[in-house]
Structure 1
Amino acid sequence: MTILLFILGVLFVAIGIAVSIALHEVGHLLPAKAFKVRVTQYMIGFGPTVFSRTRGETEYGFKALPLGGYVSMVGMFPPNKEDEGEVRRSSTGMFQQLATEARQAETDRLVEGDEDRVFYKLPVYKRIIIMLGGPFMNLLIGTVLFAVLLMGFGTAQTTTTLAEVNKCVITAEQQADTGQTECTEADPAAPAYAAGLLPGDTITVFDGKQVSSWEELSGWIREAAGRTVPLTYERDGVERQTSITPLLTERPVVGDDGAAQTDDDGNYVTREVGFIGVGAEQTLVRQSAGAVLPAVGENLANIAGVVVNLPQRLVDVAQAAFSSEPRDPNGPMSVVGVGRIAGEISSQEVIPAADRVASLVGLVASVNLALFVFNLIPLLPLDGGHVAGALWEGLRRRVAKLFHRPDPGPFDMAKMLPVTYAVAVLLMGMGALLIYADIVKPVSLFN
């Protein structure tokens, strides 16, 4: 059963990513057709064609390698006067030849009536709309999925209901020095256990103050170390009273991500606070529509941080893949790693089914936001590279008009082919590294 659930999780995310890629290309296709550009192909995948069907002037189909997709429009490169006659021989002759061949290939695809339907003749703003259509489709998908996640399933929030009550207090030093995890007669009783609290109890009043959240209660407990305070709790629908004395003890400092913080030597950072020895239950709480955009914005900021530091992140991945160093769970990963995470989540039968589905929806949503951010990088062959080229053309024409100079004409994107090929090679290398790392040292959520 576990293997079947693992496979179902992988399939869920694989289909989600495939649909996201298809809709990304639809984001390019629709405005291109709306602006009367002739679109010759709409393809999902790369390599040999597996299946295709022509509707009107466009061939729709699937390629053998489902690693992306593309929309092919005529007239991506403008003609260039330098292409007339023999190509100049120079140190950059090879690059000029590449540009010439690319322009010729574009010219060969033109048919009668294409004169005013080529991409490069569109106004700058229309070209930007076409190229941004794909990334913004991913942004829309990610936003909708986050709305489903937050408003439909909810987010995990800690409640004031107790999930566990420790019988004794084991200090951080004991755990570090001896590895002790079980209580002995020499260990003091945990305050909550001594006060008679049990798992399933809900704390309602602490030291005469009504409890509204676990964060609020935790703060009061930390501040009440050494004082005996009254406490009200609910058990089986009946309110009960007791008193409790939080113990002053060293506890690990927990960061915003919920993980215990460590110093440069790998030791836990601790501080003395009040402690009663309990763990709280978590439950999914549905959010309002107003929580969606802030959550999307926070995820976009986190993804942008990863992209900005991508070279260093890739170095870290390589070091982890080829050494005994641990893998950063917040670092980049390939579709193989995403699929493995999806399988792990799906196969955790101890987690409620609704929580697992919510996690998978959130995973697909995050992938779409990552596609949005990544495709905005202003380098060819990414969509952001085409946008940058269109903006540069618009700037050149405005400057020329301002200084009463001749119109410089469309920016020749064919001249950027060397950059395109270099970036494509880097992307393939990055993909190969991440796939290798996800196989030999995968990120795991449950280790």
Structure 2
Amino acid sequence: MKLFHLILGRMSAALIVILTLWAGLFYLAVMEEVNDEVDDSLEDYSEALILRWLSGEELPARSNGSNNQYFLYEVSESYARMYPRISYHDEMVYITEKDEEEPARVLTTIFEAEGNRFMELVVYTPTIEKADLQRAILGWIVFLYVLLLLAVILLNVWVFRRNMHPLYRLLAWLDAYRLGRSNAPLENNTRIYEFRKLNEAVTLSAERSEKLYEQQKLFIGNASHEMQTPLAICRNRLEMLMEEGNLSEKQLGELIKTHETLERLTRLNRSLLLLCKIENRQFSDVKDICYNHLLEQYLEDYKEVYAYRGVSVEVITEGEFTVMMSESLASVLLTNLLKNAFVHVTEGGVIRILFTTESMVVANSGEQPLDSERIFERFYQGHKKEGSTGLGLALAESVCKSSGLDIRYEFTEGMHRFTVSRSGSERVG
């Protein structure tokens, strides 16, 4: 979830709670004020009626045209002692002037007259429709909530675009950053202290990573280069020992196994050295390479080497796939894809090579898909094959990256398919 959405959601939830509480308190305050005004009016009216009755004056009509009505009657002393002398409540009453029932505010008071008599006076006056008031308040609250929510959204959008711009520029720079590549410098000027410190931390981290990466590449290159001579000497000495005539069959077998191990180690060392050279961009023999013609130089050799497996090879040409790149790297890319196809194809299976103007597809029949997330990792071997170093596809991917190409793997219709295309071109085949 994005930070903007998280903050907006929490602010909206807080607004709902605050506005709901505010609406309830506002309604109670309004009703309290309305009731207070009506109660004062009823109290004044009741006092006037009581004074007139106690002084023996004639009382006004029970319904005097002002919607105020009253009832006056005598009650027992026990009743008077039981109930409070004055009380207020709401109820529906019949208004004679309007000939209908309306909500009214009612005052009930008990007073004592001469002769130990107790009188109860009930005075009421129509009041506002509280249900209508509730609906009106609810309508305005909803309107206010929508208005505030829109204002909050617009304010958050403005604040985030204004104040979070340095963070998004930093994230965009990190997305485009590639270790070991020529990256644009981070230009992210800001007055915000935290963002300045974050820019400095990211820049320092990137510089440390670049230094470590360069040291690692230098170490691998130097180590691989220095190992070439000792490995060659060891192989030569083993070959000389194997030519001795006084070796037993068991000793000769052990020497052969040791020689094969040294051969694999030599191939692995050459692959690591080649990877290091590719990453250091030490290949400058760039020219137009037609992979259709390049395939003709290598395909027959692979057919002869792996003829015992009964593999059929199909070459489909829909166009010439020509790329501006190093010829040495083009050979590395094609031979590694061919070797991978011949090594991993099923017995009696088929290898299909498709050329278009935008891509080259090398496919071989297989039984189950490989891990597409790890297939190009160095030393990863989904199904161990004799003599494999686990660097062939890593080399192929490294060549593609250094030459502006894309390589993709997929398993469809029982075929492992490796597609090499120009960066940004549409998928074909």
Alignment TM-score, normalising by the size of structure 1: 0.21
Relative contact order, CA 8 A, sep 6+: which one is greater? 1
Whose radius of gyration is greater, 1 or 2? 2
Give the helix-richer structure, 1 or 2.
2
